[in-house]
Amino acid sequence: MKDPDTKQDVLDLISIEWDALQAVLQDLNPEKMTQPGVVGVWTVKDILAHITTWEGLMIQWLEESLRGETPNRPAPGSTWEDLDALNDQIYQENRDKTFDEVQQALAETHQQAVRTVETMDEKDLFDPDRFAWREGDPIWHLVAGNMWWHYKEHRKSIAEWAASS
């Protein structure tokens, strides 16, 4: 897929990969959703909670950016060097939730993320100098990394695991 040139391209890429993720999930029976081993000890449910949390963080970063603030990334008290520890913390915080709770949170967070992107204009998304904290990197990369690229990464892991188990 080529890089997006417009906000509509961004929204289309989000939709395409979201639908592809949903299609893979639809093919799994409920027992599979909580079976460990998809990625390490993670279940499909754990992966969806992971996606939800990162999308939620992205929404916060976008909203802070649009207010002219510099987001505290990746999360308060964390650095990018702590990424594995942060992902483990996300896992620990969500592992006892039911699949239905995680699925509902994912759907709600996804809708909010799409609405947030819809409020942004072309300059917000594509101007590499729009947000100084991005240091010349357009913010659509942040959206991609926490939405369609993230969906695709985990969709592939889930599909490969489902095919082999």
**Domain architecture of the chain: domains with CATH:** 7-164 (1.20.120.450)
Half-sphere CA count of 156, side-chain side, radius 13 A: 5
Contact 48, 59 (CB under 8 A): no
Instruction: Work out the end-to-end distance of the chain between its first and last CA atoms, rounded to an integer number of angstroms.
Output: 29
Kindly report the three-state secondary structure assignment for every residue of 93-122: HHCCCCHHHHHHHHHHHHHHHHHHHHHCCH
51: CB partners within 8 A, 6+ apart: 106, 150, 151, 154
Q: What is the mean pLDDT of residues 84-92?
A: 94
pLDDT tens digits for range 94-131? 999 999 999 999 999 999 999 999 999 999 999 999 99
Burial 8-19 (b: 16+ CB within 10 A, else e): ebbbebbeebbe
Q: Which pLDDT belongs to residue 165?
A: 82
Q: Which pLDDT belongs to residue 1?
A: 66
